[in-house]
Amino acid sequence: MNDAPAPAAPVIPAAYFGEQVTWVHHWTEHLFSFRCTRDTAFRFRAGEFAMIGLMVNGKPLVRAYSMASPPWDEELEFLSIKVQDGPLTSRLQHIRVGDTVLVGKKPTGTLVTDNLKPGRTLWLLATGTGLAPFLSLSREPEVYDRFEKVVVAHTVRQVAELAHRELFEKDLPEHEFLGEMVRGKLLYYPSVTREPFRTQGRITTLVESGKIFADLGLPPLDPEHDRVMLCGSEAMNRDCKAMLEARGFEEGANNAPGTYVVEKAFVTK
Ligand code: A2P
Protein backbone atom coordinates (compact mmCIF):
# COMPACT_ATOMS: atom_id res chain seq x y z
CA MET A 1 0.00 0.00 0.00
CA ASN A 2 1.20 3.45 -0.80
CA ASP A 3 0.64 5.83 2.10
CA ALA A 4 2.29 8.81 0.41
CA PRO A 5 -0.08 11.79 0.48
CA ALA A 6 -1.51 12.89 -2.87
CA PRO A 7 0.19 16.05 -4.16
CA ALA A 8 -1.59 19.11 -2.76
CA ALA A 9 -3.91 20.82 -5.25
CA PRO A 10 -2.72 24.37 -5.89
CA VAL A 11 -4.43 26.87 -3.61
CA ILE A 12 -6.31 29.35 -5.81
CA PRO A 13 -6.76 32.84 -4.31
CA ALA A 14 -10.41 33.86 -3.89
CA ALA A 15 -10.24 36.52 -6.62
CA TYR A 16 -9.59 33.86 -9.29
CA PHE A 17 -11.04 30.74 -10.79
CA GLY A 18 -8.51 27.94 -11.34
CA GLU A 19 -9.18 26.57 -14.84
CA GLN A 20 -7.68 23.68 -16.80
CA VAL A 21 -5.95 24.25 -20.12
CA THR A 22 -7.72 22.27 -22.89
CA TRP A 23 -5.82 23.37 -26.05
CA VAL A 24 -2.65 25.25 -26.95
CA HIS A 25 -1.66 26.41 -30.43
CA HIS A 26 1.60 28.14 -31.32
CA TRP A 27 1.19 30.43 -34.35
CA THR A 28 4.79 31.68 -34.45
CA GLU A 29 7.73 31.87 -32.05
CA HIS A 30 6.17 35.10 -30.73
CA LEU A 31 2.46 34.31 -30.71
CA PHE A 32 0.21 31.58 -29.31
CA SER A 33 -3.39 30.83 -28.37
CA PHE A 34 -4.84 28.68 -25.62
CA ARG A 35 -8.22 27.54 -24.41
CA CYS A 36 -9.28 26.55 -20.90
CA THR A 37 -12.34 25.39 -18.99
CA ARG A 38 -14.77 28.09 -17.85
CA ASP A 39 -16.57 28.32 -14.53
CA THR A 40 -20.32 28.65 -15.09
CA ALA A 41 -20.23 31.69 -12.77
CA PHE A 42 -17.77 33.50 -15.09
CA ARG A 43 -19.90 35.89 -17.19
CA PHE A 44 -18.61 38.53 -19.57
CA ARG A 45 -19.62 40.69 -22.52
CA ALA A 46 -17.92 40.19 -25.90
CA GLY A 47 -14.88 42.51 -26.03
CA GLU A 48 -14.09 42.50 -22.30
CA PHE A 49 -10.86 41.43 -20.59
CA ALA A 50 -9.93 39.71 -17.32
CA MET A 51 -6.77 39.15 -15.29
CA ILE A 52 -5.21 35.89 -16.48
CA GLY A 53 -2.08 34.11 -15.35
CA LEU A 54 -0.36 31.50 -13.22
CA MET A 55 0.49 30.79 -9.61
CA VAL A 56 4.21 31.50 -9.28
CA ASN A 57 5.97 30.84 -5.97
CA GLY A 58 2.60 30.69 -4.23
CA LYS A 59 1.41 34.03 -5.62
CA PRO A 60 -0.75 34.99 -8.60
CA LEU A 61 1.22 36.43 -11.54
CA VAL A 62 -1.41 37.89 -13.85
CA ARG A 63 -1.90 40.31 -16.74
CA ALA A 64 -4.97 41.71 -18.49
CA TYR A 65 -6.08 39.49 -21.39
CA SER A 66 -9.10 40.01 -23.60
CA MET A 67 -11.34 36.99 -23.96
CA ALA A 68 -11.00 35.84 -27.58
CA SER A 69 -13.91 33.43 -27.25
CA PRO A 70 -17.53 34.59 -27.44
CA PRO A 71 -19.73 34.68 -24.33
CA TRP A 72 -21.76 31.66 -25.53
CA ASP A 73 -18.70 29.39 -25.72
CA GLU A 74 -18.48 26.93 -22.83
CA GLU A 75 -14.69 27.34 -22.77
CA LEU A 76 -12.46 30.45 -22.72
CA GLU A 77 -9.85 31.32 -25.34
CA PHE A 78 -6.95 33.77 -25.23
CA LEU A 79 -4.33 35.10 -27.64
CA SER A 80 -0.88 35.92 -26.25
CA ILE A 81 2.54 37.04 -27.30
CA LYS A 82 5.63 35.22 -26.01
CA VAL A 83 8.45 37.32 -24.62
CA GLN A 84 11.51 35.34 -23.56
CA ASP A 85 12.23 37.57 -20.55
CA GLY A 86 8.61 38.55 -19.88
CA PRO A 87 7.67 37.65 -16.29
CA LEU A 88 4.36 36.03 -17.26
CA THR A 89 4.58 35.10 -20.95
CA SER A 90 8.02 33.44 -20.60
CA ARG A 91 6.19 30.95 -18.35
CA LEU A 92 2.71 30.96 -19.89
CA GLN A 93 4.06 29.97 -23.32
CA HIS A 94 5.00 26.56 -21.86
CA ILE A 95 1.52 25.63 -20.58
CA ARG A 96 0.18 22.24 -21.61
CA VAL A 97 -3.23 20.64 -21.68
CA GLY A 98 -4.28 19.87 -18.09
CA ASP A 99 -2.27 22.70 -16.47
CA THR A 100 -4.07 25.20 -14.24
CA VAL A 101 -4.41 28.85 -15.23
CA LEU A 102 -5.90 31.68 -13.19
CA VAL A 103 -8.94 33.56 -14.49
CA GLY A 104 -9.84 36.75 -12.60
CA LYS A 105 -13.46 36.85 -11.48
CA LYS A 106 -14.13 40.45 -12.60
CA PRO A 107 -14.11 40.94 -16.37
CA THR A 108 -14.36 44.52 -17.59
CA GLY A 109 -13.45 46.74 -20.54
CA THR A 110 -14.57 49.44 -22.95
CA LEU A 111 -14.71 47.51 -26.25
CA VAL A 112 -18.36 46.56 -25.84
CA THR A 113 -21.24 47.37 -28.16
CA ASP A 114 -23.12 49.14 -25.34
CA ASN A 115 -20.44 51.86 -25.47
CA LEU A 116 -21.26 52.65 -29.09
CA LYS A 117 -24.25 54.55 -30.47
CA PRO A 118 -26.33 52.61 -33.01
CA GLY A 119 -24.79 52.63 -36.49
CA ARG A 120 -24.59 50.81 -39.81
CA THR A 121 -21.05 49.48 -40.09
CA LEU A 122 -18.88 48.34 -37.20
CA TRP A 123 -15.13 48.66 -37.91
CA LEU A 124 -12.90 46.53 -35.67
CA LEU A 125 -9.33 47.76 -36.20
CA ALA A 126 -6.55 45.69 -34.61
CA THR A 127 -2.79 45.26 -34.71
CA GLY A 128 -1.04 42.16 -33.34
CA THR A 129 -2.75 40.58 -30.32
CA GLY A 130 -5.24 43.45 -30.40
CA LEU A 131 -7.28 41.04 -32.50
CA ALA A 132 -8.34 39.12 -29.36
CA PRO A 133 -11.44 41.12 -28.34
CA PHE A 134 -12.58 41.14 -31.97
CA LEU A 135 -12.37 37.36 -32.12
CA SER A 136 -15.00 37.42 -29.41
CA LEU A 137 -17.15 40.18 -30.91
CA SER A 138 -17.12 38.68 -34.41
CA ARG A 139 -18.55 35.44 -33.00
CA GLU A 140 -21.28 37.17 -30.98
CA PRO A 141 -24.70 37.05 -32.72
CA GLU A 142 -25.87 40.25 -31.00
CA VAL A 143 -23.21 42.20 -32.94
CA TYR A 144 -24.83 41.16 -36.23
CA ASP A 145 -28.25 42.22 -34.93
CA ARG A 146 -26.91 45.69 -34.20
CA PHE A 147 -24.89 46.29 -37.38
CA GLU A 148 -25.42 45.73 -41.09
CA LYS A 149 -21.72 45.13 -41.74
CA VAL A 150 -18.84 44.14 -39.45
CA VAL A 151 -15.30 44.74 -40.71
CA VAL A 152 -12.33 43.06 -39.00
CA ALA A 153 -9.11 44.78 -40.14
CA HIS A 154 -6.01 43.09 -38.72
CA THR A 155 -2.51 44.44 -39.39
CA VAL A 156 0.63 42.51 -38.50
CA ARG A 157 4.29 42.59 -39.46
CA GLN A 158 4.45 39.13 -41.06
CA VAL A 159 1.92 36.88 -42.80
CA ALA A 160 2.44 34.11 -40.21
CA GLU A 161 1.15 36.50 -37.54
CA LEU A 162 -2.30 36.67 -39.16
CA ALA A 163 -3.67 34.47 -36.38
CA HIS A 164 -7.11 32.97 -36.99
CA ARG A 165 -7.07 33.92 -40.65
CA GLU A 166 -8.82 30.65 -41.42
CA LEU A 167 -11.53 31.37 -38.87
CA PHE A 168 -12.52 34.51 -40.77
CA GLU A 169 -11.93 33.24 -44.29
CA LYS A 170 -13.46 29.78 -43.91
CA ASP A 171 -14.70 28.52 -40.54
CA LEU A 172 -17.04 31.38 -39.62
CA PRO A 173 -18.80 31.72 -43.00
CA GLU A 174 -19.27 27.91 -42.98
CA HIS A 175 -20.22 27.72 -39.29
CA GLU A 176 -23.31 25.65 -38.56
CA PHE A 177 -25.09 28.32 -36.50
CA LEU A 178 -23.27 31.59 -37.21
CA GLY A 179 -22.60 31.04 -40.93
CA GLU A 180 -25.85 32.42 -42.25
CA MET A 181 -25.59 35.56 -40.12
CA VAL A 182 -21.93 36.12 -40.90
CA ARG A 183 -21.99 35.57 -44.67
CA GLY A 184 -22.31 38.90 -46.47
CA LYS A 185 -22.03 40.84 -43.18
CA LEU A 186 -18.55 40.05 -41.92
CA LEU A 187 -15.67 41.45 -43.97
CA TYR A 188 -12.14 40.36 -43.05
CA TYR A 189 -9.35 42.71 -44.14
CA PRO A 190 -5.86 41.47 -43.23
CA SER A 191 -2.78 43.56 -43.99
CA VAL A 192 0.93 42.99 -43.54
CA THR A 193 3.63 45.64 -43.17
CA ARG A 194 7.00 43.90 -43.37
CA GLU A 195 6.75 41.31 -46.12
CA PRO A 196 4.87 40.90 -49.38
CA PHE A 197 1.13 40.23 -49.09
CA ARG A 198 -1.95 41.04 -51.14
CA THR A 199 -2.63 44.07 -48.93
CA GLN A 200 0.36 45.85 -47.53
CA GLY A 201 0.61 48.78 -45.14
CA ARG A 202 -0.58 50.12 -41.82
CA ILE A 203 -4.30 50.57 -41.21
CA THR A 204 -3.78 54.33 -40.91
CA THR A 205 -2.27 54.43 -44.40
CA LEU A 206 -4.99 52.20 -45.84
CA VAL A 207 -7.69 54.50 -44.41
CA GLU A 208 -5.97 57.75 -45.43
CA SER A 209 -5.38 56.53 -48.98
CA GLY A 210 -8.93 55.19 -49.24
CA LYS A 211 -7.63 51.79 -50.34
CA ILE A 212 -9.54 49.88 -47.67
CA PHE A 213 -12.84 51.46 -48.75
CA ALA A 214 -12.20 50.81 -52.43
CA ASP A 215 -11.23 47.19 -51.69
CA LEU A 216 -14.27 46.53 -49.51
CA GLY A 217 -16.74 48.54 -51.56
CA LEU A 218 -17.73 50.65 -48.56
CA PRO A 219 -17.94 54.45 -48.20
CA PRO A 220 -15.14 56.28 -46.30
CA LEU A 221 -15.43 56.47 -42.50
CA ASP A 222 -18.23 58.79 -41.46
CA PRO A 223 -19.38 59.32 -37.85
CA GLU A 224 -22.96 59.47 -39.08
CA HIS A 225 -23.09 55.75 -39.94
CA ASP A 226 -19.81 54.13 -38.92
CA ARG A 227 -18.73 52.90 -35.49
CA VAL A 228 -15.14 51.97 -34.70
CA MET A 229 -13.35 49.90 -32.10
CA LEU A 230 -9.56 50.19 -31.83
CA CYS A 231 -7.23 47.70 -30.20
CA GLY A 232 -3.49 47.85 -30.81
CA SER A 233 -0.23 49.23 -29.54
CA GLU A 234 -0.17 52.66 -27.90
CA ALA A 235 1.23 54.17 -31.09
CA MET A 236 -1.46 52.56 -33.24
CA ASN A 237 -4.25 53.62 -30.89
CA ARG A 238 -2.92 57.18 -30.72
CA ASP A 239 -2.61 57.56 -34.50
CA CYS A 240 -6.00 55.97 -35.15
CA LYS A 241 -7.69 58.16 -32.52
CA ALA A 242 -6.24 61.27 -34.17
CA MET A 243 -7.40 60.03 -37.57
CA LEU A 244 -10.94 59.36 -36.30
CA GLU A 245 -11.26 62.60 -34.36
CA ALA A 246 -10.15 64.55 -37.42
CA ARG A 247 -13.18 62.97 -39.11
CA GLY A 248 -15.54 63.99 -36.29
CA PHE A 249 -15.68 60.74 -34.32
CA GLU A 250 -16.18 60.98 -30.53
CA GLU A 251 -14.84 58.52 -27.99
CA GLY A 252 -17.39 56.48 -26.05
CA ALA A 253 -17.09 55.03 -22.56
CA ASN A 254 -19.18 53.12 -20.06
CA ASN A 255 -22.47 55.01 -19.60
CA ALA A 256 -21.49 57.50 -22.33
CA PRO A 257 -21.79 55.82 -25.74
CA GLY A 258 -19.84 57.42 -28.58
CA THR A 259 -18.93 56.74 -32.18
CA TYR A 260 -15.64 54.98 -31.36
CA VAL A 261 -14.00 53.18 -28.43
CA VAL A 262 -10.40 52.19 -27.77
CA GLU A 263 -8.39 49.84 -25.60
CA LYS A 264 -4.74 48.94 -25.77
CA ALA A 265 -3.69 45.41 -26.65
CA PHE A 266 -2.58 44.60 -23.16
CA VAL A 267 0.01 41.93 -22.79
CA THR A 268 3.47 43.14 -23.64
CA LYS A 269 5.63 41.06 -21.25
P1 A2P B 1 5.02 48.53 -38.92
O2 A2P B 1 5.61 47.21 -39.32
O3 A2P B 1 4.99 49.53 -40.03
O4 A2P B 1 5.63 49.09 -37.66
P5 A2P B 1 3.93 45.88 -33.39
O6 A2P B 1 4.33 44.42 -33.48
O7 A2P B 1 5.07 46.83 -33.37
O8 A2P B 1 2.91 46.15 -32.33
O9 A2P B 1 3.19 46.16 -34.77
C10 A2P B 1 2.09 45.42 -35.21
C11 A2P B 1 1.58 46.05 -36.46
O12 A2P B 1 1.11 47.38 -36.17
C13 A2P B 1 2.68 46.22 -37.50
O14 A2P B 1 2.16 45.83 -38.75
C15 A2P B 1 3.01 47.68 -37.42
O16 A2P B 1 3.46 48.26 -38.63
C17 A2P B 1 1.68 48.29 -37.06
N18 A2P B 1 1.83 49.60 -36.42
C19 A2P B 1 2.80 49.97 -35.57
N20 A2P B 1 2.64 51.25 -35.18
C21 A2P B 1 1.54 51.70 -35.80
C22 A2P B 1 0.85 52.96 -35.82
N23 A2P B 1 1.29 54.00 -35.12
N24 A2P B 1 -0.27 53.05 -36.58
C25 A2P B 1 -0.71 52.01 -37.29
N26 A2P B 1 -0.10 50.80 -37.34
C27 A2P B 1 1.01 50.64 -36.59
ipTM of the complex model: 0.97
Mutate to test the pocket of ligand 1, among 208, 231, 233, 262 (most ligand atoms within 8 A of CB): 233
Q: How far is the CA of 240 from the centre of ligand 1 (A)?
A: 11
DSSP string, 180-232: HHHTTTEEEEEEESSS--SSBS-HHHHHHTSHHHHHHT-PPP-TTTEEEEEEE
| Residues 212, 219: Cα–Cα separation, whole Å | 10
Q: How far is the CA of 24 from the centre of ligand 1 (A)?
A: 26
233 lines ligand 1 (CB under 6 A): yes
Q: What is the mean pLDDT of residues 18-41?
A: 97
Does this model's pTM top 0.90? My answer is yes
The whole-number pLDDT of residue 265 equals 81
- Listed by start position, the domains of the chain span 16-104, 113-264
**Which of these ranges, 8-22, 95-109, 187-201, 225-239, has the smallest mean pLDDT?**
8-22
CATH code for the part of the protein at 113-264: 3.40.50.80
CATH code for the part of the protein at 16-104: 2.40.30.10
Q: What is the mean pLDDT of residues 111-122?
A: 97
